[in-house]
Structure 1
């Protein structure tokens, strides 16, 4: 793969570009109800662990394969019929970024990301690192390091855009610059914090263009 531009932006998806927090809560709530579990407790665990780890903690007596199959069924249905949208400014920002200067790094699966992006009008970049691409998910640095490798850039030349503490930790452990968006207060360790993605957008674009010489313009 040819090397990418000098600096790249690596975006988390849910909670960062796509406003699907309520959808995730509903999916996990429905899943919890099928097993007679407390929805709030299950969702609290799901926020900080991967699904198989969540099942092991909240439903250790259940078959993890069946647990995962049900979760996939519920999430796929949400992609088809759920109500959600892109955060303000997301589409304009992604379209303004120089080609091969950005990637998606998600704990979800590629087909769901593509389904949601199609419904919200967001462009999909050539590099997308999903849950199936790595053995270790966030807060491990592996997903972000893989994205940098696929883009052909050094970790220190990458900017991570995140909303969740586990993603922030993953970016920091990867040796990257990490900015938090769409949160009232930043997670520990972030280099900059923006209450909304739209407020961060001009700075994100400036970072991506800082060594590319790109002529793309951002308009809010």
Structure 2
């Protein structure tokens, strides 16, 4: 099943099968006509805002049953998402719906202003790189240590480190870069350098607005971080009022109930149990930036929205239910949550 998603014009989102969720795509060009519409070009959600005039071309493309290379089947393989929440789109939405329905009754047409994914009731946030802009600090510290030993902290190694507990991350770094030191010594150097900068770490774009929105709307929210309690306290020192809005925080690096760190599902299952009403995993939505965190959420049976670092390889994002470039792009209503105001 494929989705053509849109904010003012359609794009494609692979619909999630069991534990195989989608990332956003768009193939509606700014110029050209129906015969030349290319629905195989992948882009991210924030690029899916094309001029309204292209909407009819998209409708025509979907009515023709166009699809990316390698996607077979009839028109029922496509779900067209039209932003009918905008008044000027209403007529085009009806046009698209009727065009697609005439071609194949199996074609579904929906509006992204409404619920698309499975409804959730609780939200679990990762910390580093998702709420706090810490990953740039970690990257510099790891790179500096590597450089002192004539090594390079590559994007591939970084992808394996992100989202892990500090001791596991140190072990991975030492092994991957073949550093002439023990993981324990690496961790000492890392903490000495990183702690100086973490005191003043800032928030990621869209983080504060989203957290305060959920709190205002009485949506239960929590944090599940691989950090230890001591490191967590340093990071949130200047953001205590914001982090006081969370129901609870699970610090996987020091929490005795978290037996294994990400990509094990332990931390998210523990976090879900600690909500007052102990929701089922499928009732929880995880917001993550790291491949290890995404894997952990999927293993826990939860949907996960990923906001990956720009250096994360595309293949490492495939498990995410939805992939965005920033929390500013997140639309809670797609998961049955109150929309941002």
Instruction: Determine if the alignment matches structure 1 residue 116 to structure 2 residue 116.
Output: no
Whether the aligned pair in 2 keeps the contact of 1:9 and 1:204 (CA below 8 Å) is no
Whether the aligned pair in 2 keeps the contact of 1:11 and 1:160 (CA below 8 Å) is yes
CA distance in 2, matches of 1:14, 1:204: 24
Query: Structure 1 residues 97 and 147, CA, compared in 2 at 3 Å: closer, same or farther?
Result: same
CA distance in 1, matches of 2:225, 2:272: 14
- 1:86-143 Cα distance to aligned partner (Å, 9 max, x none): 1222112212224571111112233333433333563242421222222311111111
1:18 maps to which of 132, 147, 154: 132
1:54 maps to which of 145, 166, 172: 172
Compare relative contact order (CA 8 Å, sep 6+) and give the higher one, 1 or 2: 1
Equivalence for 2:327: 197
1:173 maps to which of 299, 304, 311: 299
Q: Which moved further from structure 2: 128-137 or 164-173?
A: 128-137
Whether the aligned pair in 1 keeps the contact of 2:206 and 2:326 (CA below 8 Å) is no
1:147 maps to which of 271, 275, 283: 271
Q: Spell out the pairing of 1:47-196 with structure 2 (5 A cutoff).
A: 47=162, 50-57=168-175, 58-59=177-178, 62-80=181-199, 84-98=201-215, 101-120=220-239, 122-124=242-244, 125-130=246-251, 131-133=253-255, 134-151=258-275, 152-181=278-307, 187-196=317-326
Query: Structure 1 residues 113 and 205, CA, compared in 2 at 3 Å: closer, same or farther?
Result: farther
Whether the aligned pair in 2 keeps the contact of 1:93 and 1:201 (CA below 8 Å) is no
TM-score by length of structure 2 reads 0.52
Structure 2: any 5+ residue segments left out of the alignment?
Answer: 1-119
CA positional deviation for 1:74: 1.9
CA distance in 2, matches of 1:97, 1:44: 30
Q: Secondary structure at the match of 2:242?
A: coil
Q: Secondary structure at the match of 2:154?
A: helix
Whether the aligned pair in 2 keeps the contact of 1:89 and 1:201 (CA below 8 Å) is no
Equivalence for 1:212: none
CA distance in 2, matches of 1:191, 1:48: 18
CA positional deviation for 1:161: 0.7
